[in-house]
Amino acid sequence: APRVLSGIQPTADSFHLGNYLGALRQWVAMQDSHDAFYCVVDLHAITVEHDPAVLRRRTKVAAAQLFAMGVDPERATVFVQSHVPEHAELAWVLGCLTGFGEAGRMTQFKDKSSKQGTAGTSVGLFTYPILQAADILLYTPEPGPDGRALRVPVGEDQRQHLELTRTLAGRFNHRFGETFVLPEAFIPEDAAKITDLQEPTAKMSKSASSPQGIIDVLEDPGPMRKKIMRAVTDTGSEVVYDEEKKAGVTNLLRIYSALEGTSVADLEARYAGAGYGQFKKDLAQVVLDTFTPIRERTLMLLDDEEQLDRLLAQGAVRASHVASRTMETVRERVGFVGLGSGG
Ligand code: ATP
Ligand code: MG
């Protein structure tokens, strides 16, 4: 099976509906068709100021949510980035192959650093895409008879980073010999982009959405229902899909369709003449039915911390197996002296 690699940052107390419909639900599906590697990227999470105890908790909550959503620790390799030190090591080597100007052209850095100002911006935030390139290339097969391209699911916001990864892989190959098959962007067909419930033209986001605009996977049922009932719609009353004139209703239709597996056209027909109230009430139920079991399983997993740690240790062993072999090749090709048998 082709290999897939994806990562998610433990930067919030819960994943949100956008993460679920735009990424994590596909993680569950892809474990059947792929050799899947899923990483909770805690090294990336410290590129902005953080609290150590909060990071530790969020990393575990993130992993627990993945398992609770149906990522299977037997079929997929689920691991924490800092458990595999080769990520940081390869990032150093790749950083030495990256031009300063080249890194400076990354638009996500420009956006984030302009919001925080240069004084509040770390060098880690600047080199973030290089660490991401290392995350990807560690699991990238060598060219050869079984050297199939690694697939990397990417949203629009990550395209430029994957492009940089391919550039760096090509540069490494050119300088030091064929080492990496260039990874490929992969867009799962049912990935849906979800917008903010209060600001339906902006994306639902951990860092930018207000609490009223975002639905957390681990949220209590009461507030969850209320947020959907209070989601911004528009002055009309027809439940119809119209990205431009009815961005709010359109977002709700997209959520409903994705969660229930019903086409938007069928939903429009079902709610013809029914008004927004009934539509939202039913949608709230669909969201609750999806997330309640996930919340309960997450809490159960967090209750048994030893078991969760065991699952992550198992993932770390499997990821290290691949990453350490890649890194051995890289060290050798770059010209680092091997430790020898006396080491
Ligand atoms: P931040 O605001 O800190 O960037 P985020 O909410 O965008 O956080 P990420 O951790 O950046 O979340 O994204 C994790 C995954 O979820 C990525 O694959 C991203 O493309 C996807 N994703 C994030 N927000 C949405 C959304 N609103 N709709 C669909 N997919 C989303
Ligand atoms: Mg994001």
Give the tens place of pLDDT for each residue, 152-211.
998 777 899 999 999 999 999 999 999 999 999 988 878 889 999 999 999 999 888 999
Q: Is 207 in the pocket of ligand 1 (CB under 6 A)?
A: yes
pLDDT of 29-74, one tens digit each? 999 999 999 999 999 999 999 999 999 999 999 999 999 999 999 9
What ipTM does this complex have? 0.96
* Residue 207 CA, ligand 2 centroid: distance in Å: 8
pLDDT of 235-255, one tens digit each? 888 999 999 999 999 999 999
**Nearest atom (ligand 1) to Cα of 6:** 18
- Rounded (10°) CA dihedral 174, 339, 41, 106: -30
User: Which among 321, 317, 307, 324 has a CA at the least distance from the CA of 63?
Assistant: 307
Which residues 6+ apart lie within 8 Å of 288 measured at CB? 221, 224, 225
Q: Is 78 in the pocket of ligand 1 (CB under 6 A)?
A: no
The whole-angstrom separation of Cα 250 and Cα 264 is 9
Residue nearest to atom 26 of ligand 1 (CA): 18
The answer to whether 226 is a known ligand-binding residue is: no
The residues that are catalytic are 112, 203, 206
The answer to whether 216 is a known ligand-binding residue is: no
